[in-house]
Amino acid sequence: MAESVGFLEVYGLTAAFVAADAACKAANVRIDAFDHNKPANADGLPVPLLVLVKIRGTIEDVKAAMDAGCEAAKKVSGVVTTHVIARPDIETEKLLKINSLK
């Protein structure tokens, strides 16, 4: 069975690290990747860089990790959005490997 994936998009790299740390401490998950985006309206954001944390594990663990990661990121700079995919399709799995960080 495919692992679930959680997406936690936050403002800034510091919030991403804090969220990832909290997520891993809260549940049996792994951080699959960090990704970043500097949107066109970056100057109007609290922090001009958005970072996406991809979290993998069972659906229960991913949900628990996402909750913990969200709470931690809110204390730093804030959360942009979150989403969980319980069973990613094989075609979606291919897209999950896309990453703009080297």
| Residue pLDDT, tens place only, 20-39 | 999 999 999 999 999 988 77
- Cβ burial of 67 (10 Å; 0-12, 13-18, 19+) is middle
Beta strands across the sheet bearing 30-37: 30-37, 50-57, 4-11, 79-85
pLDDT digits (tens, 9 = 90+) for 38-96: 777 777 777 778 999 999 999 999 999 999 999 999 999 999 999 999 999 999 888 88
Domain with 10 in it: 4-83
50, 15 in Cβ contact below 8 A?
Answer: no
Predicted pLDDT at 66? 97
Predicted pLDDT at 102? 61
Residue 66 belongs to domain with CATH number: 3.30.70.1710
67 occurs within a structural domain: yes
88 occurs within a structural domain: no
Predicted pLDDT at 96? 86
Number of C-beta neighbours around residue 55 at 10 A: 28
17 occurs within a structural domain: yes
Q: Is the pLDDT of residue 1 over 60?
A: no
Alpha-helical runs (H) found in 8-99 = 13-26, 59-76, 90-96
Weakest-pLDDT range from 7-16, 26-35, 92-101: 92-101
89 occurs within a structural domain: no
Structural domains counted in the chain: 1
Predicted pLDDT at 47? 77
96 occurs within a structural domain: no
CA geometry: angle at 8 spanning 52 and 25, to 5°?
Answer: 110
Confidence (pTM): 0.88
94 occurs within a structural domain: no
49 occurs within a structural domain: yes
91 occurs within a structural domain: no
